[in-house]
Structure 1
Amino acid sequence: MKTINPYLIFNGNAEEAFEFYQSVFGGELFKMRFNEMPGTSEMPDEDQNKLAHVSLAIAGENQLLMASDAGTGHEANIKSNGNYYLSLGPESAEEAEKIYKRLSEGGTIFMPLEETDWAEMFAMFADKFGIQWMINFGDKG
């Protein structure tokens, strides 16, 4: 397998979320709106400017975080029931602290960034958009 890249669905705020993620991680942001795609003219007007696809290259061009906005009538497909985490493996303690501070701001911390039995630094939290993250640095195994 060459890559595995998470694909997130947002309720109309994918652009705001990904601009925030770009401010945290850096990287190149690609956006395509529904009104830029063929065959979407029959979509409701309120969906035309939503993001059909957005991607952010993180840690090289083969690591992509991707998403789109749910269209009208598809909001029920968005589930925030806690059955996933996006796990990050920073290269240094400083990077772990920086990412944790920025990404968890305004979110919900389940486990603060601290030493554990298995890592020098580990954290679990949801960001301000409800996306759940883990940070794991310094494997003790």
Structure 2
Amino acid sequence: MPITTTTHLNFRGDARAALDFYHSVFGGDVVAVTYKDAGNTQNPDEADQVMWGQVAADNGFRVMAYDVPSQMPWNAGENAVFVSVRGDGPDEITAYWEKLAVGATIVQPLEPAQWAPLYGMLKDRFGIVWVLDVAAPYNG
């Protein structure tokens, strides 16, 4: 039986903006259920924050996100998670890179690397580190 894994991103009030942004980059459908929608509002100031959200695209891209409630501890961390996007061609990866790079900090520019035709790393405007590359055949 096959399984899938999906990167789940945790935010403090930015989940909806992040989901909308990733949707603008990768396409697909956005679903966002607020704490109010779920009848789970514990802090009225957080009623419209995302309790469960997802972007799912036909190209296989999936990401989930939610806003950690204020009564729970949350720390964005430092390099705790990288989201990896690997594609078959430079045009596809370059298009994603250009969109993700808006407001981002470039860690490693998107350029040819010893192990891949194109490779780059950036920290997007929400503090998420993305690694993008073009798949290369393994010749181990």
The answer to whether the superposition gives a TM-score over 0.5 is yes
Specify the code of the residue in structure 1 equivalent to 2:51: A
Question: What is residue 45 of structure 2 aligned with on the other side?
Answer: 46
Out of 97, 102, 115, the residue aligned to residue 100 of structure 1 is: 97
Question: What is residue 120 of structure 2 aligned with on the other side?
Answer: 123
Residue pair 2:26, 2:61 contacting (<8 A) in 1 also: no
Question: What is residue 68 of structure 1 aligned with on the other side?
Answer: 66
SS at match of 2:13: coil
How far the C-alpha of 1:70 sits from its partner, in A, is 1.2
Question: What is residue 111 of structure 1 aligned with on the other side?
Answer: 108
The TM-score with structure 1 as length reference comes to 0.89
Asked if residue 81 in structure 1 is aligned to residue 78 in structure 2, the reply is yes
> Equivalents in 2 of 1:140, 1:113: separation in Å?
19
SS at match of 1:82: coil
Residue pair 1:80, 1:130 contacting (<8 A) in 2 also: no
Specify the code of the residue in structure 1 equivalent to 2:112: E
Residue pair 2:32, 2:50 contacting (<8 A) in 1 also: yes
More helix by share: 1
1:4-47 Cα offsets, whole Å, 9 max, x none, are 11111111011111111111000011110000113x24x11011
Question: What is residue 6 of structure 1 aligned with on the other side?
Answer: 7
Moved over 3 A (4+): none
Where do 5+ consecutive residues of structure 1 fail to align? none
Where do 5+ consecutive residues of structure 2 fail to align? none
- Number of equivalent positions: 137
> Equivalents in 1 of 2:100, 2:65: separation in Å?
17
Question: What is residue 28 of structure 1 aligned with on the other side?
Answer: 29
Question: What is residue 16 of structure 2 aligned with on the other side?
Answer: 15
Out of 66, 78, 87, the residue aligned to residue 90 of structure 1 is: 87
